[in-house]
Amino acid sequence: MVLLWFCAFLSPYINPQTFSLGAILAIGYPILLLTHSFFIVYWLVRFNKVIYLSVSVLLLSYFFSVPVFQTKSKFKALAKDNSFSTLTFNSQLFYFGGGQKEEVRAHQSKIAHFLKQENVDVLCLQEARESIASSLNYPYQSINGFNHIYSKYEIVNSGEIIFSESSTNQSCYADMLVHYDTIRVYNLHLESLHLGNEDYALLKEWDEDSQEDEFKNKTQKISNKINKATSIRVNQVETIIESIKDSPYPTLLSGDFNDVPQSYIYRRLNEGHKDAFLESGKGFGATYRQLIFPFRIDYILADKIWSAYNFEVLDEKLSDHQAIRCDVEIND
């Protein structure tokens, strides 16, 4: 158990294309945390010397890993002339709750109403249909397939990030003039795991009547899907990082990364940025709740020269993801 925990601790620093188990351990990090804590209590009761090693690894991860839980939020009323509000949301192509044309249209209206109520300055949507654009009434927009960027600020340039491998997911950026400064906003949607309903059912519950060999085969298939998707995301992230390096402007990264904070993917993208949840969020910050444990896979990462405040995971259940928003202060 200590070895598994230590491998999970190292997973953000090792390319999963080299060490594929790291991607699995990163996803299972909350489970390992609970299990490890249980064993610490067990070894303490049994007066086992292993507890010293176990506690050392736990303390190491506490100081050097991304926190799973935030106890305090950071609220600040920001001046309008040096800040902007932003929201990111994977809207699941408006299919949540049904796939018939009338149901999709009705759900699109609910999402549009929700987004207009939030009324943020910069809005990033993944898995969105172009038909929603007219309902949002933003003066500036950049639409790349299912990735949309809407802005109250003038968009002076935009583009799509072309990935070398074929993918149903997309990423794009828009340069916009915000309070006399130009910034670049990235809307990222990285490779999905492509798990089906059967896969999710297996991950949610263990059927005691299932044959052990059958269970092993199914879990191996899930593991292969995770490793394949993770490998593709690694390549996508390297392409994105090259684009960030070429940007002449400060950058905001937001969207659905399809990976957890303990992952190599997150660590690479967060370099040179501040995670808005860690800066000003509270609780677990979970945005995806379709499995046993809720996961944080949607992010807003602000350039390191900025400050992020007032982070929220919004409660509305309008997709398999939850929207997140925050305010960004542009520091002089």
pLDDT tens for 228-287 read 999 999 999 999 999 999 999 999 999 999 999 999 999 999 999 999 999 999 999 999
Higher pLDDT, 63 or 84: 84
To 5 degrees, how large is the angle CA 299–CA 256–CA 227? 115
Q: What is the mean pLDDT of residues 149-171?
A: 91
Quick one: pLDDT band at residue 212, thresholds 50, 70, 90? low
Q: How far is the C-alpha of 299 from the C-alpha of 150, rounded, in Å? A: 17
Q: Are residues 188 and 111 in the same domain?
A: yes
Q: What is the pLDDT of residue 226?
A: 86
Alpha helix positions (H), 126-196: 133-136
Q: What is the pLDDT of residues 78-119, one digit of tens each?
A: 988 999 999 999 999 988 766 678 888 889 999 999 999 999
**139 in any annotated domain:** yes
Q: Are residues 185 and 281 in the same domain?
A: yes
pLDDT at 285: 94
Beta bridge partners of 229: none
Same domain for 23 and 168, yes or no, is no
**Gap between the Cα atoms of 265 and 267, Å rounded:** 6
CATH of the domain at 143: 3.60.10.10
Range with the poorest average pLDDT among 15-29, 60-74, 305-319: 60-74
Do the domain assignments include residue 203? no
Residue where a domain stops, chosen among 38, 64, 90 = 64
* Any domain includes 275: yes
Q: Which domain holds residue 23?
A: 2-64
Tokens 């509270």 belong to residue: 282
